[in-house]
Amino acid sequence: MVALNQIGQIAITVRDLPRAVNFYRDVLGMRHLFDAGPKLSFFDCGGVRLMLDIPEQPEFQHPPSILYYKVDDIGAVHQELKAKGVRFEDEPHVIAKLPSHDLWMTFARDSEGNVFALMSEVTQR
């Protein structure tokens, strides 16, 4: 029986690869791994490979799924990225109050207009 249980790579479609590389490397602070030709660039995101891709086929030229980046201090990361010019859609806010923690989120856009989120599990005091 097949049981898929690990993500190895996620693709993010982009229009301007150098601009996107600068954003993910210099603004978000991801470690650049390698480039593969003029249309692909790869980053490490906590052991999952993140691929920036200029799609060749029209059916793949659409916004990607929303990626949720887990951070310890959502307020501090939000302020740091905002200071670097990241455009946020909202302020960090509680999404759910769970028994052991509150789930906080905020949504932003990358250099290509793709939506991404920051999420933080804040222990209740």
Query: Regarding predicted confidence, which is higher, 17 or 60?
Result: 17
Residue 2 in domain: no
Q: Cβ distance 63 to 23 under 8 Å?
A: no
Which pair of tokens denotes residue 93?
């806010």
State the burial class of residue 74 (Cβ atoms within 10 Å of its Cβ: 0-12, 13-18, 19+).
buried
Residue 39: helix, strand or coil by DSSP?
helix
**pLDDT exceeds cutoff 90 at 8:** yes
Residue 14 in domain: yes
Token pair 């906590």 is found at 46
* Whole-number Å distance between alpha carbons of 20 and 27: 10
DSSP state, 58? G
Residue 106 in domain: yes
Residue 125's pLDDT is 66
CATH number, domain containing residue 68: 3.10.180.10
> pLDDT tens across 42-78, in order?
999 999 999 999 998 888 888 889 999 999 999 999 9
Q: Helices (H) and strands (E) in the chain — how many of each?
A: 2, 9
Residue 3 in domain: no
Residue 113 in domain: yes
Please provide the DSSP assignment of 28-73 as one string. S-PEEEEE-GGGEEEEEETTEEEEEE--SSGGG-S--PPEEEE-S-
- For residue 17, which amino acid is it? L
Domain containing 67 equals 9-123
Instruction: Please state the domain count of the chain.
Output: 1
Q: Which residues are CB-neighbours of 90 under 8 A, at least 6 positions away?
A: 106, 107
Residue 4 in domain: no
> pLDDT tens across 91-125, in order?
999 999 999 999 999 999 999 999 999 999 999 76
Residue 61 in domain: yes
Please tell me the pTM assigned to this model: 0.89
Residue 98 in domain: yes
> pLDDT tens across 80-93, in order?
999 999 999 999 99
